[in-house]
Structure 1
């Protein structure tokens, strides 16, 4: 039985089984019977079952080979494709346009997953991500509290905080609380593709040293005279 599979600390696995929270996460994706969903890290399939009940089909990318092998047998007759692969190596172009992402994201690769989704040629129309609460707040930060992460995401998507999930709802409990962040991809990025490289150079330079004055930080990052 898949439920007997113990979470692997090395993979950042924490099982979420609360039915109300799982239903809230699935609902946040605004799924219809026409939607194709990419689920990242389906684990035991507790969220997968909710997604299959609402969407047309689910592609579940699971890095853990044991879980990937067991998952299809839990949903016979359902439109479920299980891929045993690192999500960072998965080709998003094989999915149809306007697919949706739902994921209980391992904390240790959150930033890399967000970057992959937001910079992909084939971006999801919406991504519902359960992440570390602090990271969710950083992603959805408003002007005055923004970081490189929030700027980098919000160039491509509108970010909105959703439900909080206290650590005790996971098995085993992580050391921090989690929160759902919903990313709705913009039809047109706030910065045009041809200007993005220079824009992100400036952004990264501006945030590179919090204790330095902005002018000094920009000068160092861009290689210009402070004069």
Structure 2
């Protein structure tokens, strides 16, 4: 794959964090992990030169490939050949309307999709923002399969006492699993870090709690992660320490604990007493 990338005259842009997947076996393994079916819609973020896209179009009902770098689109079209079940969109995944793209694809497909899935080889610098935007986009999503920095995958899949704001944010919407790791030599150019395939399976039911209120409390809790919750919540929510301590005790949480030790369920209980 790296030789084809070079043959297209593609020069990876460091400013966009471009590291193209160059191993065919790994590409097929990632697509297999997405469990794409013939009636499925796949929204692919960052198709690059089409390493994953060319496999996705063979098993999906329709693929919407969203690429920020317009100079890659001619090479992407060439890699996809005569594939008819794909829409290539020049756009920023942090700004495009996923719902509208899905509706447009359904009209071209001619019938409703069985499920919607996301697949992405994300530039490391937009990982957190992209994950959150995908999970909050409003579509009914069956799975999200992402190539991310291994350190990020570990943070996302962490459990108490090693939680982070990112872990809570993702797990609020779904179950994350680190599937397998990818060495740097499977990319062109080689990144300076190891990557992993992360799969997020959204919960069957949407959270039975207001997301805005939930994240307001969680962000306050993690605003000063080395401090006790009674202090971080008071400062972040602009309440008194006694009010924060009362809410924590009512939630069954010791006020001296720190944010990284709380489980998702404990955060949910706490939000009920604070909001």
- Class of the TM-score when normalised by the shorter of the 2 chains: over 0.9
Residues of 2 paired with 1:75 and 1:166: CA distance?
26
> TM-score scaled to structure 2, two decimals?
0.77
Q: 2:205 aligns with which of 174, 179, 188?
A: 188
Looking at structure 2, the residues matched to 197 and 57 of structure 1 have their Cα atoms a distance apart, in angstroms, of: 33
| Match among 20, 24, 33 for residue 28 of structure 1 | 33
- Which residue of the partner structure matches residue 89 of structure 1? 95
Alignment of 1:24-103 (within 5 A): 24-78=29-83, 79-94=85-100, 95=102, 98-103=115-120
Task: Give the conservation status (yes or no) of the 8 Å contact 1:105–1:131.
Answer: yes
Aligned to 1:153: 170
Q: Confirm whether residue 202 of structure 1 aligns to residue 202 of structure 2.
A: no
State the distance in 1 between where 2:78 and 2:87 align.
11
For the residues of structure 2 that align with 1:170 and 1:129, how far apart are their CA atoms?
Answer: 15
Residue 133 of structure 1 pairs with residue 150 of structure 2: yes
SS in 2 for 1:217: helix
Return the index of the structure with the highest Cα Rg.
2
Contact 2:145/2:199, CA 8 A, preserved across alignment? yes
Contact 2:178 2:198 in 1 (8 A): yes
Offset at 1:170?
1.4
Q: Which is further off, 96-105 or 165-174?
A: 96-105
Contact preservation (8 Å) 2:50, 2:80: no
Indicate which of 105, 117, 135 corresponds to 2:122.
105
Q: Are the aligned partners of 1:155 and 1:191 in contact in 2 as well (CA < 8 Å)? A: no
- Where do 1:115-130 residues align within 5 Å? 115-130=132-147
Unaligned runs of 5+ residues in structure 1 are: none
Q: Is the 8 A contact 1:164 1:179 kept in 2?
A: yes
The whole-number CA distance in structure 2 between the counterparts of 1:157 and 1:114 is 11
CA deviations over 1:112-144 (Å, ceiling 9, x no partner): 111111111124321100001111111111232
Which of 184, 196, 207 is matched with 1:179 structurally? 196
Let me know the Cα RMSD of the aligned residues. Answer: 1.6
Equivalent of 1:222, from 233, 237, 241? 237
Q: What is the alpha-carbon distance in structure 2 between the residues aligned to residue 22 and residue 70 of structure 1? A: 17
Q: After the TM superposition, which segments of 4 or more aligned residues of structure 1 sit over 4 Å from their partners?
A: none
Does the Cα contact within 8 Å between 2:149 and 2:194 map onto a contact in 1? yes
TM-score, normalization: structure 1? 0.93
Q: Provide the rounded CA distance (Å) in 2 between the counterparts of 1:191 and 1:106.
A: 32
Q: Which moved more, 1:142-151 or 1:23-32?
A: 142-151
